[in-house]
Structure 1
Amino acid sequence: MNPVAASRLTVVDEDDLSPASIVDAVTSIARRELAPLAADIDSGEIYPADVLRRLGDAGAWGSHLTRNGAADLRCAIQSMAAVGEVCGATAFMAWCQDTLAWYVTNSSNPALVARFEDAVSSGKILGGTGLSNPMKTFFGIEKLKLKGRRVDGGYVVRGALPWVSNLGEDHFFGTIFEIENKPGEIVMFLADCSDPAITLQPCKPFLAMDGTGTYGVQFRDVFVPNDLILAETAAPFVKKIRAGFILLQAGMALGLIKDCIAIMDEVAAPLGHVNRYLPQQPADFRELYSELESETMELASDPFNASDDYWRRVVALRLKCGDASVAAANAAMLHCGARGYLRSHRVQRRLREAYFVAIVTPATKQLRKMLDDM
């Protein structure tokens, strides 16, 4: 039997799967089903909804759910890295889906958890995170773009978010609004993209990763019922989930760096005689990868650690991941030389994807500001 088909038949409940079996199943799906689509996802020809649901079948979106007040992000990050070895765009969508599940599983709203936790973690419901603007707001970079007012049974929300990813007409995403006339009072909720008062506007073409379901989102007096409220008082909720939000992004970086090392190894035989003069070699990145992976796995085992030292380590690691992604992809391009300058060679895609790792919220400059503020 095809191993991918077998993995689908054996998946019943994420709790019955070991982390290793989940990562193995995700790796198989990524290499067999996702790899042939990577170029078309990058160019925007395909949004891989079916593959995302297949990854949900394999347990990719459920391993990091909170159980008995604890959570472990290691398997989720390893699974995302396996996807990222093949396609950075899909690794980003994996982060979006994982983050949506992270919000839901940590909500104190029992009706919301009952409705969404299993559906999101299985991939039956797909979606993402609209926290780019709020995360910038929390560190003095932007102002909140969504405003809401209390009404019977919920809130009415208006405003617009410029970029939210892993969306479609039947998707959901988590985001935050500020209560009108109450500066600083914020509420986190799930937005339902099927709501007629929500408009998804296609974005202008990006440098890379156009098949990520990224849209501008307009809220025109959207009614948000109480059962879609993630956190009535969002500030402490954000503090609880912020480390997980950032740590999960390490999966994008680890997968990309690993493939960049593989690319350098692939050209060693024909070009090694001249590539040895380049200042950065595969061995350098293998050592760096090992350090990043070790630090990531240590931090990911304790995402609710509330100490200031832990939070600083999370932010510093995320900065290292972005810097290392760009460095590894740049080195891979130089090792490939002219052959890497062809559109048909994946190294140019990896270079474009690497810049995304460095600029997605929290971007390199925001991370440096955060560390400086600490």
Structure 2
Amino acid sequence: MSPVAVSRLPVDEVADPSPASVVEAVASIARKDLAPLAADIDEGTVYPAELLRYLGGAGAWGTHRPKDGAADLCCAIQSISALGEVCGATAFMAWCQNTLAWYVTNSGNPALVARLADGVSSGKILGGTGLSNPMKTFYGIEKLKLKGRKVDGGYVVRGALPWVSNLGPDHLFGTIFEIEDQPGEIVMFLADCSDPAVTLTPCKPFLAMDGTGTYGVQFRDAFVSDDLILAAPAGPFVKKIRAGFILLQAGMATGLIRDCIAIMNEVAAPLGHVNRFLPQQPVNFQELLTELELETMQLARDPYNADDSYWRRVVALRLRAGDASVAAAHAAMLHCGARGYLKSHRAQRRLREAYFVAIVTPATKQLRKMLAEA
């Protein structure tokens, strides 16, 4: 997998940084510049670093920065959705980048915010999130894989994470370790992939989305300075950012579903006479998509809501979005028939991407566990 250069994109033309203009710019980039790369990203021959940076220049990673104690995720989710309509892998990387920005801009560490917030939000600094293992730990599914001990000026961290995405040799990502001599005490920090004590190991090939910069990450007594600590203790910080972490994933689902509807409509003329006997039709998924987007936008305007009822709505929405993604992609394949079974047809890619939406943390089974225990 290698980075790819792209032609100069119209990011400097975004004079009005309103949410609508950002989404419009992202959608234009998706259609003109991302679409030709989608198959290569899926196959893992391309990691679109320059495209991600250009998207940052268009405002894609900065619209959800907190202001006066409030934040709105609507534009960020709509931008991810616009990318997901073209390429599920890039929508996932957009979620990673937006989540990194969410961590940094919400941190109570003023030195970290001052040094990194602008760079991450503009795309000059790329990276992702390593909260898959911690998120499972919080619900009794796994144990924390990283341990740290306090030293002068920071911590020393050791351990390994099996999968972290949107990474490269100069990238950052947020994750959590447990203090060695204080069981249950956790610290959230930014890991610097350029640190010689942090090793990136390529993963075995995936079913789809191999161009997402996904690596196993090993920490060999890596020093993490206090300037890279997002929160210590991390518990209250995780509760603050958890709804945003999950809600931003909704963009991956809605974009994919929208394209699956388009795929079904594209084959209506030649195959409609027999496709009408299939139980799920484009109109059914359009109604479902409208409901999902309405609920998502309502929740996305209030990501710091601490009510238990709000949190249950967030988790339930994420579960529904994953189920809907798989159902829509499955229906698109059936509507296409044999032509969708060709490697050259995007219907089979959308099906493989849909399963990722359903299994990426928090996966369908974890979401059901979370709702059962809430």
- Is the TM value for this pair above 0.5? yes
Post-superposition CA distance 1:94-127 (Å, at most 9, x none): 0000000000000000010011110001000000
Say yes or no: does 1:8 pair with 2:11.
yes
Aligned pairs (5 A) from 1:132-147: 132-147=132-147
Say yes or no: does 1:263 pair with 2:266.
no
Say yes or no: does 1:191 pair with 2:194.
no
Q: CA–CA distance in 1 between the matches of 2:134 and 2:9? A: 42
SS in 2 for 1:306: coil
Cα deviation for residue 6 of structure 1 reads 7.8
Partner amino acid for 1:357? V
Q: CA–CA distance in 1 between the matches of 2:143 and 2:295? A: 33
Cα deviation for residue 266 of structure 1 reads 0.1
Q: Which runs of 5+ in 1 are unaligned?
A: none
**Percent of pairs identical after alignment?**
80
Q: CA–CA distance in 2 between the matches of 1:361 and 1:367? A: 9
Partner amino acid for 1:322? G
Partner amino acid for 1:240? K
Q: Which residue number in structure 2 is paired with residue 282 of structure 1?
A: 282
Q: CA–CA distance in 1 between the matches of 2:33 and 2:310? A: 38
Post-superposition CA distance 1:210-264 (Å, at most 9, x none): 0000000000000000000000110000000000000000000000000000000
Q: Which residue number in structure 1 is paired with residue 179 of structure 2?
A: 179
Aligned pairs (5 A) from 1:38-77: 38-77=38-77
Q: Which residue number in structure 2 is paired with residue 321 of structure 1?
A: 321
Q: Which residue number in structure 1 is paired with residue 295 of structure 2?
A: 295
8 Å CA contact 2:81–2:91 kept in 1: the answer is: yes
Q: CA–CA distance in 1 between the matches of 2:49 and 2:213? A: 9
Q: CA–CA distance in 2 between the matches of 1:174 and 1:123? A: 16
Say yes or no: does 1:307 pair with 2:310.
no
Partner amino acid for 1:113? V
Partner amino acid for 1:62? G
Q: Which residue number in structure 1 is paired with residue 349 of structure 2?
A: 349
Q: Which residue number in structure 2 is paired with residue 25 of structure 1?
A: 25
Q: CA–CA distance in 2 between the matches of 1:6 and 1:348? A: 29
RMSD over equivalenced CA pairs, Å: 1.0
Q: TM-score, normalised by structure 1?
A: 0.97
Q: Which residue number in structure 1 is paired with residue 3 of structure 2?
A: none
Post-superposition CA distance 1:53-72 (Å, at most 9, x none): 11001000000011111000
Q: What number of residue pairs does the alignment pair up?
A: 368
Partner amino acid for 1:335? H
Q: CA–CA distance in 2 between the matches of 1:159 and 1:243? A: 27
Q: CA–CA distance in 1 between the matches of 2:113 and 2:305? A: 23
Q: Which runs of 5+ in 2 are unaligned?
A: 1-6
Q: CA–CA distance in 2 between the matches of 1:10 and 1:344? A: 34
SS in 2 for 1:176: strand
Q: Which residue number in structure 1 is paired with residue 148 of structure 2?
A: 148
Q: Which residue number in structure 2 is paired with residue 371 of structure 1?
A: 371
Q: Which residue number in structure 2 is paired with residue 119 of structure 1?
A: 119
Q: CA–CA distance in 2 between the matches of 1:58 and 1:299? A: 25
Q: Which residue number in structure 1 is paired with residue 4 of structure 2?
A: none
Q: CA–CA distance in 2 between the matches of 1:225 and 1:122? A: 24
Q: CA–CA distance in 2 between the matches of 1:167 and 1:186? A: 23
Q: Which residue number in structure 1 is paired with residue 157 of structure 2?
A: 157
SS in 1 for 2:32: helix
Cα deviation for residue 5 of structure 1 reads 6.3
Deviates more, 1:16-25 or 1:314-323: 16-25
Post-superposition CA distance 1:146-193 (Å, at most 9, x none): 000000000000000000000000000000000002111000000000
Partner amino acid for 1:8? V
Q: CA–CA distance in 2 between the matches of 1:5 and 1:173? A: 27
Q: CA–CA distance in 1 between the matches of 2:55 and 2:263? A: 25
Q: Which residue number in structure 2 is paired with residue 91 of structure 1?
A: 91
Partner amino acid for 1:9? D
8 Å CA contact 2:53–2:122 kept in 1: the answer is: yes
SS in 1 for 2:46: coil
8 Å CA contact 2:9–2:54 kept in 1: the answer is: no
Q: CA–CA distance in 1 between the matches of 2:14 and 2:149? A: 43
Aligned pairs (5 A) from 1:328-343: 328-343=328-343
Partner amino acid for 1:110? P
Partner amino acid for 2:129? T
Cα deviation for residue 311 of structure 1 reads 0.1
Q: CA–CA distance in 2 between the matches of 1:264 and 1:313? A: 30
Cα deviation for residue 49 of structure 1 reads 0.4
SS in 2 for 1:304: coil
SS in 2 for 1:222: strand
Q: TM-score, normalised by structure 2?
A: 0.97
Partner amino acid for 1:285? F
Q: CA–CA distance in 1 between the matches of 2:260 and 2:208? A: 17
Cα deviation for residue 8 of structure 1 reads 1.7
Q: CA–CA distance in 1 between the matches of 2:259 and 2:363? A: 22
Partner amino acid for 2:342? L
Q: CA–CA distance in 2 between the matches of 1:171 and 1:55? A: 16
